[in-house]
Amino acid sequence: MKRELIAYLDSIKARDPAPRSRWEIMLYPGVLALGMHRLAHWLFNGELYFLARLVNHLSRFLTAIDIHPGAQIGANFFIDHGFTVIGETAKIGNNVTIYQNVTLGGTNPADGVGGQRHPLIADDVIIGSGAQVLGPILVGRGARIGANAVVTRDVPEGATMVGIPARPTLIDADTFNSFVPYGTPCTERFDPQSQQLELLKCEVETLRGKLAKLIDERDAAAAAISTDRQSA
């Protein structure tokens, strides 16, 4: 237990240069919120729903972080700062980092699969501050969600997502050899204007393809009508 705690605290130190000691990290609201969630989740699995909710409310009061007791969270999960909301059916892998004001929100159960209403976050994902990840979608391993992005569709493994709605940039997360704070590339290689231009070009090509398909369908329908008339 002690070794696991030390390994967890060291994993946070590797992602945050601010703390001077492990004791300081233990005062982080994200660490306290995760610890209380482990207890709430244990009570939730034991069908002690009221007690699980009670622990959840106490945690939210102390940390300003709201993690539903039903959420499943892997190892070395780190919420930097706070004001984060994680829904009941969310599933989070290992070594995931979330910054402040993030929502892992749900949608109508009718839109999900088997009651899954919240996102599934794979290992090594970074979600920047203010990002909203909504619905029963999959965020692939090693993906980066930029600050204030709104994600409503599956995210490919290793992708870097920015914008509203979020779209992949031309820079994969594998391009960066080190941890990317806030999930947002901040180097000269990241030019938002050129990225937006490339995205627009991709949209134009997509629309051209859809238009060509519609034209083919129209011609096929016209040919079928002409054949029917001739046979009649």
Question: Is 50 found in the same domain as 15?
Answer: yes
- DSSP string for residues in 36-77: HHHHHHHHHHTT-HHHHHHHHHHHHHHHS-EE-TT-EE-TT-
Question: Is 163 found in the same domain as 203?
Answer: no
Question: Is 227 found in the same domain as 167?
Answer: no
Q: What total of structural domains would you count in the chain?
A: 2
Q: pLDDT tens digits for the chain (232 residues)?
A: 778 888 888 888 888 888 888 898 889 999 999 999 999 999 999 999 999 999 999 999 999 999 999 999 999 999 988 899 999 999 999 999 999 899 998 876 665 556 788 999 999 999 988 899 998 999 999 999 988 889 988 988 888 888 888 777 755 555 544 555 554 555 444 455 555 565 566 567 667 778 888 888 888 888 888 777 777 6
Question: Is 160 found in the same domain as 220?
Answer: no
Q: Are 133 and 164 in contact (CB under 8 A)?
A: no
Examine residue 165 and say whether the peptide bond preceding it is cis (omega within 30 degrees of 0): yes
Q: Are 82 and 29 in contact (CB under 8 A)?
A: yes
Any idea what the CATH number is for the domain that residue 29 is in?
A: 2.160.10.10
Question: Is 12 found in the same domain as 107?
Answer: yes
Separation CA 73–CA 35 (nearest Å): 11
Question: Is 203 found in the same domain as 97?
Answer: no
pTM assigned to the model: 0.70
Question: Is 199 found in the same domain as 176?
Answer: no
Instruction: Provide the domain limits for residue 208.
Output: 191-232
